[in-house]
Copies of this chain bind each other. A is one copy, B any other.
């Protein structure tokens, strides 16, 4: 039987890789690396800990062009994985963040079960790293926390605490959070040297970054 281990590499810093991830990458036969154009964010994290030379021979790139990923892209990736992994071999597929959170990993691999054994090693999600960086309670006893990848106007905000990913239009988001009585903190590139954290509305609306998120918490009555 072939085995594929899906690994979440966390939000960016190599320091946030788990010991299990490290060990699996060290011991695998093939390392499947998703690539978007020339960007290989999950590999960048791994290369903070490993030398490129150590891994070079294991690396197999899988192309997932941003915006153009679809069933055909996944099919190609599945075929490459299938052709590369020989019986009794172990492959590792790395993905940023965690493989169960806004990831296509499980969806992509689902159709391969039977052909191979799938295991998963969790990674630190970006919003968890963000809460720690901002020393922000993500959720307290008896509270609810909701995670979303955008703020839909038609969805009611009911949770005590929120994480909103991909905040491309922070101004609209802040308007709504203020109207509904939430405090907030905005974070970009958590754990990177260029990390940016702010609770100041004017500072936040001036930013436009894909790698950003907002944490919000209902003001106490």
Residues of A within 8 A of B (CB): 6, 8, 10, 13-20, 22-23, 49, 98-103, 106-107, 118, 120-125, 128-129, 131-133, 135-150, 155-156, 158-159
Contacts and interface: CB of A to CB of B under 8 A. Distances in A.
Contacts of A143: 148-149
B142 A132 contact: no
A103 to B, nearest CB: 8
Contacts of A100: 128, 131-132, 136-139
Number of copies: 2
B144 A148 contact: yes
Given A100-B138, A101-B138, 4 more contacts: A139-B149, A143-B149, A146-B146, A155-B158
Contact of A145 (B137, B142, B146): B146
Contacts of A118: 135
9 contacts: A13-B20, A15-B23, A16-B20, A98-B128, A98-B131, A101-B131, A106-B136, A122-B132, A146-B159
A210 to B, nearest CB: 15
A22, A140, A143 pick with most chain B CB within 10 angstroms = A140
Contact of A19 (B16, B120, B156): B16
Given A16-B122, A49-B19, A142 B150 contact: yes
Contacts of A101: 128, 131, 138-139, 145
A18 B20 contact: no
